[in-house]
Every structure is written in structure tokens, then in C-alpha cells.
């Protein structure tokens, strides 16, 4: 007998689905349980002071022992609903107006492209905001009428933090037993970072996938200001304080290069770790493959980075029974 599952989550319980995605259930039932806070283990320990009060100190690591990173909190917590809640959900879907009804076995289609804002967008705005995207995953995960998600990924201009949040929702959505199929006609490291979380990934034969590494660019206006006779007055407090460099310098300082280099190394290292664990390969193998220069999409298919080379209308969306 099939069981109805619900996913509880803390973020983004604000709006109904955007018009850019197919309509699914409109809102949660009031009887759905709330998310219990999940406390992560801390490397701190409490010790007693001379005055009887307690304070926190870092627990020392043994010689040669590396500190393990804290586990990432999941975006979803899957729980089985009681029979009363299941009955209430079924009755709510039964009395839904015709324009809100969705046929059982439907596939939710979402398109991710361009700038993804933090604020909720109106019904007439183009694209989806981060709260709407996350809420779509949450609702589709426990909606029994939705069998899976078809994710169309196009070039993104959002930050890595938003990309990480969306990927967490993709990974936790698959824990509900439903599928996620991705389609990526054009993309780079950020787009593939999301697409690699899909169970299946397709690209057209004419796809352009640029895996060239990460770069950071900055614009400096000191030369322009000198030509127009403007002398900026900037008070620099520390070596790594670079807020006024755009007006006061013509190039990056060594401290800024060091800071941005460390940031890029961290992002790229996380990208390599995630992709290597997804493909079941070593980090060095993934890095060697990227450094070799990926200029033909056929190589991605040969190495197992994408499932197949198909055009959008040739992709066969699987049913829930196939998974």
C-alpha cells in the first residue's frame, strides 16, 4: 500500500507556486507538523571557571588529527503522516476548484535561468525567486499527484550560495522516492553543479558546456578619475580592507589577490568534492578531466557526466513506477 509522505522544512513557507511552473497543490494543510530544530554537534565543550560560572573553550585536537567538517543540515525531513492527516489531504484535493486540479502522475516542470532574487516575485514577473523554487520542491515532494520534476537549467547569474541551496533541495527531494530529470543546453561550473544532483541529465547535441574553472574580475576607476581631474580621498584601515580600491587603485593589491584566491580555492574544492562523490570517482580524476579541456559535449557523455545527447522534445520523462 502506498504511503503518503510529507516534508517539513524551515525556510520559505510564504507563497503559492509561480506561473512559470506547472500548478501543484496550493498550500499546506494546517494540520501538517512543524519542523523541529536540528542541533548540529559542536566542537566546543563547557568547563568550570573559578567563580562557578561556565564558559566555552575549543576542544583540543590530537596530534595529526584533522577536524571534521560539520554535516550540512538537510533541506527536508521526511515523515509519514497519520491516517487522519492523509484523509484531510485527500478531501482537500477532492474539493479543489477545477483550475487548481492536477492529474495524478503529472510532472512538474521548472526552468532555472538568469538572476534568482531573494524576494518573492509577483504573478506577472518573469522567472522564479529562491523562495518560490524551494517551495516548489517541497510541495511537489509530498503531493501524491506529482510523480517527478523536469528541471530545465540555463545560464545562471546568481551566487554560489543560492546554487547550493537549490542543490540541497534537489537532493532532498529525491529522498521522497520521486525522480528529477535535468536538461542543460548551455552551462558552466555553476549550472553543472545543480544538474549533477539530478538522477538523469540530458543535453542537446549542440550543447555548449564550458568547464574552464572559476574566475573573478574587478573594475578599477583610478585611471579614469585622473583623466577627468578627480582625486578620490580614501582612508584605508587595513591591508585586507578593499572597499575603496575601485576608486583608489588601478589594479588588485596582493592582499586582495590572496583573499580572492582563497575564496576561489574553497568554492572550487567544494565543487570538485561534490562532483566526484556524485560520479563515484576520485577528486584527482575529476580535476584531471576538467584540466584536460572539455570542448566537445560527446566527451561528457562518454565519461558519464551526462546521460545522453537528446533534444528537448526527445527526452522521455520516466514515470514514478519506473523508479
Angle, in degrees to the nearest 10, between helices 130-142 and 160-174: 0
Q: What mean pLDDT comes out for the span 250-256?
A: 89
Q: State the pLDDT at residue 73.
A: 62
Give the pLDDT band (50/70/90) at residue 54: very low
- Going from N- to C-terminal start, the domains of the chain cover 8-29+74-86+100-212+293-323, 216-291
Give the pLDDT band (50/70/90) at residue 172: very high
CA dist., res. 252 & res. 272, Å (int): 27
The residue among 135, 116, 155, 97 whose CA lies nearest residue 18 is 135
pLDDT in tens, 116-159: 988 877 766 777 889 999 999 998 988 888 999 999 999 999 99
Please give the model's pTM, rounded to 2 decimal places: 0.70
Listed in sequence order, the DSSP H helices in the chain are 83-94, 130-142, 160-174, 189-195, 222-227, 245-248, 254-279, 283-291, 297-302
Burial of 104 (0-12, 13-18, 19+ CB in 10 A): exposed
SS3 114: strand
Q: What mean pLDDT comes out for the span 211-232?
A: 88
pLDDT in tens, 178-213: 999 999 999 999 999 999 999 999 999 999 998 888
Average the pLDDT over each of 85-99, 148-162, 196-210, 251-265 and give the range with the smallest value. 85-99
Domain 8-29+74-86+100-212+293-323 has CATH 3.90.226.10: yes
pLDDT in tens, 14-42: 333 333 343 333 333 333 333 333 333 43
* DSSP codes, 35-102: PPP-PPP-SEEEEE-TTS-EEEEEPPPPTTPPPPPPPPPPS-EEEEPPHHHHHHHHHHHHTS-GGG--
Q: State the pLDDT at residue 12.
A: 38
CB 203 within 8 A of CB 305: no
CB 7 within 8 A of CB 138: yes
SS3 200: strand
Q: What mean pLDDT comes out for the span 212-229?
A: 88
Amino acid at each position: 500500500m502506498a504511503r503518503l509522505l510529507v516534508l517539513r522544512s524551515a525556510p520559505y513557507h510564504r507563497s503559492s507556486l509561480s506561473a512559470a511552473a506547472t500548478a501543484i497543490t496550493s498550500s499546506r494543510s494546517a494540520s501538517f507538523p512543524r519542523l523541529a530544530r536540528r542541533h548540529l554537534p559542536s566542537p566546543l565543550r563547557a568547563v568550570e571557571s573559578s567563580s562557578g560560572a561556565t564558559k566555552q573553550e575549543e576542544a583540543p585536537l590530537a596530534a595529526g588529527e584533522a577536524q571534521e567538517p560539520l554535516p550540512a543540515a538537510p533541506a527536508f525531513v521526511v515523515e509519514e503522516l497519520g491516517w487522519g492527516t492523509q484523509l484531510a489531504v485527500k478531501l482537500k484535493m477532492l474539493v479543489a476548484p477545477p483550475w487548481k486540479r492536477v492529474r495524478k502522475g503529472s510532472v512538474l516542470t521548472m526552468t532555472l535561468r538568469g538572476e534568482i532574487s531573494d524576494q518573492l516575485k509577483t504573478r506577472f514577473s518573469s522567472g522564479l525567486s529562491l523562495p518560490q523554487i524551494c517551495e516548489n520542491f517541497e510541495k511537489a515532494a509530498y503531493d501524491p499527484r506529482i510523480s517527478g520534476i523536469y528541471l530545465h537549467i540555463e545560464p545562471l547569474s546568481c551566487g554560489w550560495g543560492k546554487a547550493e541551496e537549490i542543490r540541497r533541495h534537489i537532493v532532498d527531494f529525491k529522498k521522497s522516492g520521486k525522480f528529477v530529470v535535468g536538461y542543460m543546453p548551455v552551462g558552466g561550473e555553476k549550472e553543472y553543479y545543480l544538474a549533477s544532483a539530478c538522477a538523469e541529465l540530458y543535453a542537446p547535441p549542440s550543447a555548449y558546456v564550458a568547464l574552464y574553472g572559476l574566475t573573478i574580475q574587478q573594475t578599477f576607476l583610478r585611471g579614469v578619475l585622473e583623466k577627468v581631474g578627480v582625486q578620490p580621498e580614501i582612508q584605508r584601515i587595513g591591508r585586507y580592507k578593499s572597499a575603496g580600491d575601485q576608486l583608489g587603485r588601478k589594479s588588485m593589491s596582493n592582499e586582495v589577490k590572496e583573499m580572492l584566491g582563497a575564496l576561489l580555492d574553497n568554492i572550487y574544492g567544494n565543487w570538485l568534492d561534490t562532483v566526484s562523490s556524485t560520479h563515484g570517482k576520485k577528486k584527482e580524476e575529476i580535476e584531471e578531466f576538467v584540466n584536460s579541456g572539455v570542448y566537445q559535449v560527446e566527451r561528457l557523455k562518454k565519461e558519464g557526466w551526462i546521460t545522453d545527447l537528446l533534444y528537448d522534445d526527445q527526452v522521455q520523462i520516466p514515470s514514478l513506477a519506473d523508479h
